[in-house]
Chains A and B, each alone.
Chain A
């Protein structure tokens, strides 16, 4: 057995929660190691290819649970590599939500005003910009026009995309080979490396134990680069501070597996999971009605037939994001593209005589694929997900070489959640079926349960120890020195895309982590500029930070 390595700060996972904290701690002077279970790809390695083994399967993790399947990133950069880069801030009322606990679920210290300076830091760093209607692809335009026709408003959503580089190829889920998508590979991660952080791909953390000096020993396996089911070796690293950022589908599993070594975990570890109230509807449009009712046509005269063209979600309607409405009836609707191989199986045939998601009629639906429009609901669910006993390794039992696994998450939607889904389905129908524009059916939950790309809240922050795993500084209750900064810390559904909020919370958590590291003798300080050296965001937050900055 070789001598155990040690570091000041060990970061598990390199998505938003991991990359942002790794950057600031490294820039502040700490020795930082990042362990990431997926491969490290960039630029031309991002294939425009659906073949098994291309980046399309290498960079993903799809875990089928009981009633809920979770799709997330599996690579250096995590979800930012595969995501659609829609980056809205969460509406004000979200922070006042009660959810399943009957009182405000967010910590008293956090509301929209308190988070805005941290949102600003992220917006500067990636950067995030507002789209115009000229940036919006045909599918987003069609959704916007349909909303308008139905007397509703619709907005181009803010995105982290460099429009000059974007080719609207719609391969962004396989990683962006044109570097148009502002993933973490282009900002926080290279800046962290420039400050000495070490990122180790294909390192899957399994559990944590304690060291004699009050720190933690992190146990990992090294994963084969082609067949992720195969682990080629194991190792450990000791650290004074551990930052858990493996994502909301994986962080609680690592903590569950560590419980025999670390002692009892807070009750909320692996509970209160939220799928962000997600739901998808697929509409099949009548091309003639698009022209006749909405007056739309492409430059080549075709009304639409453009499902494949574009760049993920670009237009959303926020009419239902009204804080005065009762909880569980507020949601946003967003146009979205799901490429083949991931989602067509879940599209159902409207008015089917036979089966809805396979068979003769489904084939006919696929013939009209170019005229599809997918609308994505993000609503208020009831945090009803619970993780069962952890699998042997990782966060699932891997079935395929890459991507596909079976996990222990179970999710039975409550009446509240079902109510939110039903209201959003009705709104989608109202917008898209008006005047014969299209026929629309929700994706089925029957095949793999509900489906989320926005897992949240499995290890959440809060003021009440009974219902939150972390205090408002993201430190794991009763386990000092362990911080959780990924989507699992977000207390509940956000009614919009969550990455901007996950990132802002990670930014906000950094000064507290710096202080904890200082208390353990690490020479580190807070106050790095944005990864590209910009300083406006830092100017905004420095007055809020006390104690962790030193001249």
Chain B
């Protein structure tokens, strides 16, 4: 749940069910969580799986400290990071990924995998992800393949001269 809340901070989505706590619900359409962020993090290939528990614990410790410093009340029913509202989650994540934060590499890596879930669905074959209406690829408007599962764009060019070439161009087409 903590890592879901982190993923939702990176690329937010709409709540999956009315009292969804991990997803803050600040955006319409599916975000990183609905795109499979946790599945991507858990893949053996990605290499993040062994670190996930420690990352979730670390994030909650940071959240507790963050809330303490600002006297924000935390709801014991959910982990501390989940208890923060979206803007506080963002503020904390900005702190953690800042250039001078000692743990920034860990949090940037986590953000990177969350982004990959949304924009590439790396836990699924791309053809299958599109067929299943993967939220990230769909939101981006990623065009689907031909019926044989391969991409081709027969219409691809404006097909006319659109600029003057540089005067110092060699006959082979390189800068002189």
Provide a sorted-by-A list of 19 A–B residue pairs whose CB atoms are within 8 angstroms. A51-B121, A138-B157, A144-B162, A148-B162, A155-B165, A155-B169, A167-B151, A168-B153, A169-B150, A298-B158, A317-B163, A321-B166, A321-B175, A340-B119, A341-B119, A358-B115, A363-B139, A399-B47, A448-B108
- Chain B, Cβ-Cβ closest to A145: B162
Q: Is B167 an interface residue (CB 8 A)?
A: yes
Residues of the B chain whose Cβ atoms lie less than 8 Å from the Cβ of A480: none
Q: Mark B145-172, 1 if CB is under 8 A from A, else 0.
A: 1000111111111111111111111101
Q: Mark B1-34, 1 if CB is under 8 A from A, else 0.
A: 0000000011111000000000000110001000
Q: Mark A438-465, 1 if CB is under 8 A from B, else 0.
A: 0000000011100000000000000000
Instruction: Tell me if B115 and A345 are in contact (CB < 8 A).
Output: yes
**Which of A136, A152, A308, A400 lies in contact with B45, CB distance below 8 A?**
A400
**Which of A57, A91, A359, A500 lies in contact with B9, CB distance below 8 A?**
A359
Instruction: Tell me if B11 and A141 are in contact (CB < 8 A).
Output: no
Residues of the B chain whose Cβ atoms lie less than 8 Å from the Cβ of A88: 173-175
Residue among A49, A57, A299, A315 with most chain B CB within 10 A: A49
Residues of the A chain whose Cβ atoms lie less than 8 Å from the Cβ of B176: 91-92
**Which of B111, B153, B168, B173 lies in contact with A169, CB distance below 8 A?**
B153
Instruction: Tell me if A308 and B142 are in contact (CB < 8 A).
Output: yes
Q: Residues of B with Cβ closer than 8 Å to A?
A: 9-13, 26-27, 31, 43-48, 86, 90, 93-94, 97, 99, 105, 108-109, 111-112, 115-116, 118-127, 136-137, 139-143, 145, 149-170, 172-176
- For chains A and B in complex, what number of residue pairs have CB atoms within 8 angstroms? 220
Residues of the B chain whose Cβ atoms lie less than 8 Å from the Cβ of A49: 125-127
Q: Residues of A with Cβ closer than 8 Å to B?
A: 48-54, 57, 64, 88-92, 123, 128-131, 133-138, 141, 144-145, 147-148, 152-158, 167-171, 177, 229, 296, 298-300, 305-306, 308-310, 315, 317-319, 321, 332, 339-341, 344-345, 354-355, 358-360, 362-364, 366-367, 369-370, 398-402, 404, 406, 446-448, 496, 500
Residue among B99, B115, B156 with most chain A CB within 10 A: B156
Residues of the B chain whose Cβ atoms lie less than 8 Å from the Cβ of A89: 170, 172, 174-175
Instruction: Tell me if A310 and B47 are in contact (CB < 8 A).
Output: no
Residue among A50, A305, A339, A406 with most chain B CB within 10 A: A50
Residues of the A chain whose Cβ atoms lie less than 8 Å from the Cβ of B105: 64, 406
Residues of the A chain whose Cβ atoms lie less than 8 Å from the Cβ of B169: 155, 318
Instruction: Tell me if A298 and B155 are in contact (CB < 8 A).
Output: yes
Residues of the B chain whose Cβ atoms lie less than 8 Å from the Cβ of A136: 157-158, 162
Report B95 CB to chain A, min CB distance, Å.
11
**Which of A145, A345, A363 lies in contact with B12, CB distance below 8 A?**
A363
Report A129 CB to chain B, min CB distance, Å.
8
Report A344 CB to chain B, min CB distance, Å.
5
Once A145-B163, A359-B10, A496-B175 are accepted as A-B contacts, the answer to whether A50 and B140 lie under 8 Å apart by CB is: no
Once A51-B125, A345-B111 are accepted as A-B contacts, the answer to whether A153 and B166 lie under 8 Å apart by CB is: yes
**Which of A133, A155, A360 lies in contact with B166, CB distance below 8 A?**
A155
Residues of the A chain whose Cβ atoms lie less than 8 Å from the Cβ of B11: 358-359, 362-363, 366
Once A154-B165, A296-B158, A358-B10 are accepted as A-B contacts, the answer to whether A310 and B153 lie under 8 Å apart by CB is: yes
Extra 11 A-B pairs, beta carbons < 8 Å, given A137-B156, A141-B160: A48-B145, A50-B120, A133-B158, A138-B158, A296-B158, A315-B163, A317-B163, A321-B166, A358-B115, A401-B47, A446-B99
**Which of B48, B90, B160, B167 lies in contact with A133, CB distance below 8 A?**
B160
